Structures are given as structure tokens and as C-alpha cells.
Amino acid sequence: MTKPDKSRSEHLSAEFADMFLQPATAHSQQVREVFNSIPTAVAALCAVVDGEPRGIVATSLAVGVSYDPPMVSFSAQTSSTTWPYLRRAGRIGLSILSDEQIDECRQIASKAGSRFADLETMPTERGGLLVKRAAAWLECSISAVVAAGDHEVVLLQVEGVDMRPGSEPLIHHRAGFRNLAAMADV
Ligand SMILES: Cc1cc2nc3c(=O)[nH]c(=O)nc-3n(C[C@H](O)[C@H](O)[C@H](O)COP(=O)(O)O)c2cc1C
């Protein structure tokens, strides 16, 4: 992270926020650093489409988008070759990966190699695919897709939920992985 200079560290006393805000330009390192400084869960979004398992990992997940009906969202890169398959799925299985699943995360996100070789999954009746040993599971249907720059925001209606007692979610933070057990209460 860029070391804050004196004027930035004193930004709270600045008369206008413009004095310390950096311009948020496309693909800027500053934007990337700020986005990456915000911890997120790691979701695997998987489904069986035309008989083939398909899936991606996403850290753009937002939960609690709505409680009535229950809705979550994530953003899919417009360049993704997997998202067009998932979009056609009857249901998407959304697994919140646990802190024991860094390998599974890397495998499902990989560009090369089989994303599902030796990966333990559970199909749902309507075509969703859930990853075993995850911390929580949501079976979702696609409610809306909204264009958002180089991504599409996907609103998902949650049709079914469960969680694995005693497990903790994997946390993505500053381009690395963390677990909640290593963090202190405040
Ligand atoms: C930690 C991490 C977070 C990611 N988050 C997202 C995301 O929010 N949205 C997305 O579309 N892809 C995300 N990806 C990329 C996908 O998981 C996957 O690598 C990519 O979609 C593969 O290309 P394909 O869609 O062409 O198969 C992420 C990858 C990693 C490793």
C-alpha cells in the first residue's frame, strides 16, 4: 500500500475531501489497492450445463442484497468464457469456500487444467453444483443481469441455504488469503 504522506494522513482536517482523494481512473493501481484492502468472502459458483460441470470463483459477492425475497449478487467479467454457460443454468450452486479450501479455490479459478478433477461436489436437483466441505451453500436462480463496465452484476435469488457447523469462511484480502481464526476481536 502506498505510504500516506503528511497531507494525506491529515486528511480528516482538510476542508474538502478533494484535497486527499486520488482520481479513480480505469485499471489504476490506486483503485486496485483500495478494492483489495476490503476483505471479502470467496464464492465458488458452479452448475452442470449440458452435462458438463462449469464454475468460477468470485470475490465480488454481496450478501443481504434483499431478505424478502432473499437475494445476493456477484459480478461476472464480460471477458469470462464460463459465465455464458452458468447464465444458461437452471440453478447456480454458490459455495462459500471454507478456510481449508485454498486449493479448491485455485483449482476452480484456474485457466488451465480441469477445474473439477478430483473435486468433491454435490449436484442439486435443478442443475446447481455445490462444493463439499464449504462453509455455507446457497442454491440460486438468476433474477436479473445488469451491465456494469467490464462486468455484469448478477442478481441471484436464493432458493435454498445451508451451512457447515464449525467451519469458517476463507477470506480474500490484499490479494492473499486469510482466515478468521487468525484475526483478533475488537
Ligand atoms: C480470488 C479470485 C477472485 C475472483 N473473482 C472474480 C469475480 O468476482 N468475478 C469474475 O468474473 N471472475 C473472478 N475471478 C476469475 C474467475 O474465478 C476465473 O478465473 C475466470 O472466470 C476464468 O476464466 P473463464 O471465465 O474464461 O473460464 C476471480 C479469480 C480469483 C482467483
Q: How far is CA 175 from CA 34, 40, 43, 110, in A?
A: 11, 11, 15, 16
Quote the ligand 1 centre to 165 CA distance (angstroms). Answer: 27
Q: Is the pLDDT score of 120 beyond 80?
A: yes
- Residue 60 domain flag: yes
Q: What is the pLDDT of residues 57-104, one digit of tens each?
A: 999 999 999 999 999 999 999 999 999 999 999 999 999 999 999 999
* Torsion (CA) 36, 59, 118, 99 in degrees, nearest 10: 70
Looking at residue 169, its amino acid is P
Q: Nearest C-alpha to atom 25 of ligand 1 is from which residue?
A: 80
Pairwise CA distance, residues 156 & 66, whole Å: 10
Q: What is the pLDDT of residues 15-69, one digit of tens each?
A: 888 888 988 999 899 999 999 999 999 999 999 999 999 999 999 999 999 999 9
Q: Cα separation of 105 and 107, whole Å?
A: 5
Q: At residue 3, does pLDDT exceed 70?
A: no
Q: Quick check: pTM over 0.75?
A: yes
Q: Give me the CATH number covering residue 98.
A: 2.30.110.10
Residue 95 lies in a domain: yes
Distance CA 139, CA 128 (A): 7
Interacting residues of 20 by C-beta distance below 8 A, sequence separation 6+: 7, 8, 11, 14
Instruction: Please indicate, yes or no, if residue 20 is contained in any of the structural domains.
Output: no
| Full domain range(s) for residue 101 | 43-174
**163: in domain:** yes
- Per the CB < 8 A criterion, the answer to whether 145 and 66 are in contact is no
Tens of pLDDT, residue by residue over 127-149, are: 999 999 999 999 999 999 999 99
172 touches ligand 1 (CB under 6 Å): yes
Instruction: Return the DSSP state at 113.
Output: S
Nearest-5° angle of CA 12, CA 17, CA 19?
95
Kindly state whether residue 68 falls inside one of the protein's structural domains. yes
Which pLDDT belongs to residue 1?
47
pLDDT at 173 over 90: yes
* CA–centroid distance, residue 58 to ligand 1 (Å): 5
Angle at 32 between CA 28 and CA 37, to 5 degrees: 150
Report how far ligand 1's centroid is from the alpha carbon of 74 (Å): 11
* Overall domain count for the chain: 1
Q: What is the DSSP letter of 13?
A: G
